[in-house]
């Protein structure tokens, strides 16, 4: 055979051998790539947990995140310094649906008490007071959560995903379709999320990246309103005993925080109630 290549003639007349060879080779390649992917993912997760700067470096590759840092990080640092906050910090977000407010609390590493840094208006809401219990109900969740995903390419500028459904939600909500993808994001539209405008999400996203990059704690507490005794009396006039029992359960954590600006380690009982 003429040409620049080498021709190898298989000693089998059937193409079955060739097909088998290709199949085996493809499987070997697939398994090898899977192992590489798993190893890479584990290494990335370990880097995040170690707080070695990998997460922030990755986020800063995104133009929106880079712009947010350029615009917001220095003023945020100055404001933090004025309130005695510096270095690595934990974040606590407290959302109050009736008041349409999102509070941003920080605490220095080693401190027990949080300091209020920012209060953002929630610029749009959906649903009613009360927890989210099924997909499509339009409800903003209520309870105690974390942030489990950062999206620098959000349709709503930047977004942070709340860890709904949590363990309590999995017990009390629709077992097949509880819903999900609940975000704190930019813009000013929502169906079950917490929008705070593009300008405010830039600040919050930068703070969130800093906390995540240092492997710090990040909690999100969502309440129907400020759970004062007077507000509970007003709620009793409009809502069911079941909802009132749920809100009184949330109030135990709310009151604990008010007593000293610190949060307990919240657990979930078999019946879905929170306790500590």
Quick: pLDDT tens for 57-109: 999 999 999 999 999 999 999 999 999 998 899 999 999 999 999 999 999 99
Distance CA 59, CA 213 (A): 10
> What pLDDT shows up at residue 51?
52
Confidence band for 124, pLDDT divided at 50, 70 and 90? very high
- Other C-beta atoms within 10 Å of 81: how many? 10
Please return the burial class of 205, using the count of CB atoms within 10 Å of its CB with bins 0-12, 13-18 and 19+.
Answer: buried
Q: Which two tokens stand for residue 24?
A: 């085996």
Confidence band for 52, pLDDT divided at 50, 70 and 90? low
For the segment 196-211, the average pLDDT, to the nearest whole number, is: 98
Q: Which two tokens stand for residue 231?
A: 């507000």
Q: Which two tokens stand for residue 138?
A: 């339009």
Instruction: Give the burial string for 97-129 (b: 16+ CB within 10 Å, else e).
Output: bebebbbbbbbbeeeeebbebbebebbbbebeb
What's the chain's average pLDDT? 86
Distance CA 79, CA 194 (A): 24
Catalytic residues: 185, 193
What is the share, in percent, of the chain residues with pLDDT greater than 70? 81
For the segment 153-158, the average pLDDT, to the nearest whole number, is: 97
Distance CA 50, CA 103 (A): 28
Strands 101-108 and 274-275: unpaired
- The answer to whether 275 and 267 are in contact (CB under 8 A) is yes
> What pLDDT shows up at residue 53?
73
Angle between helices 229-236 and 241-260 (to 10 degrees): 170
Q: What is the pTM of this model?
A: 0.81
Name the strand (E) or helix (H) holding 81.
helix 74-82
Distance CA 89, CA 109 (A): 5
């Amino acid at each position: 055979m003429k040409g620049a290549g080498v021709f190898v003639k298989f000693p089998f007349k059937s193409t079955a051998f060739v097909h088998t060879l290709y199949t085996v080779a493809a499987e070997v390649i697939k398994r090898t790539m899977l192992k590489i992917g798993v190893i890479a993912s584990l290494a990335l997760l370990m880097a995040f947990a170690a707080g070695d700067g990998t997460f922030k470096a990755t986020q800063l590759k995104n133009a929106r995140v880079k712009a947010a840092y350029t615009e917001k990080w220095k003023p945020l640092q100055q404001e933090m310094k004025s309130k005695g906050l510096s270095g690595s910090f934990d974040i606590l977000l407290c959302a109050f649906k009736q008041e349409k407010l999102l509070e941003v609390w920080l605490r220095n590493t080693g401190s027990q008490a949080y300091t209020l840094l920012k209060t953002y208006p929630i610029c749009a809401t959906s649903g009613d007071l009360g927890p989210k219990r099924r997909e499509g109900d339009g409800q903003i969740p209520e309870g105690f959560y974390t942030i489990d995903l950062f999206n620098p390419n959000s349709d709503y500028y930047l977004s942070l995903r709340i860890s709904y459904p949590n363990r309590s939600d999995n017990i009390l909500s629709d077992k097949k379709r509880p819903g999900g993808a609940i975000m704190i994001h930019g813009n000013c539209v929502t169906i079950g999320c917490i929008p705070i405008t593009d300008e405010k999400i830039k600040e919050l996203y930068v703070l969130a990246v800093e906390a995540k990059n240092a492997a710090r704690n990040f909690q999100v507490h969502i309440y129907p309103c400020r759970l004062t005794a007077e507000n509970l009396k007003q709620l009793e006039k409009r809502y069911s005993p079941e909802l009132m029992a749920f809100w009184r359960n949330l109030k135990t954590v709310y009151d604990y925080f008010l007593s000293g600006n610190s949060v307990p380690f919240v657990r979930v009982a078999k019946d879905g109630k929170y306790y500590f």
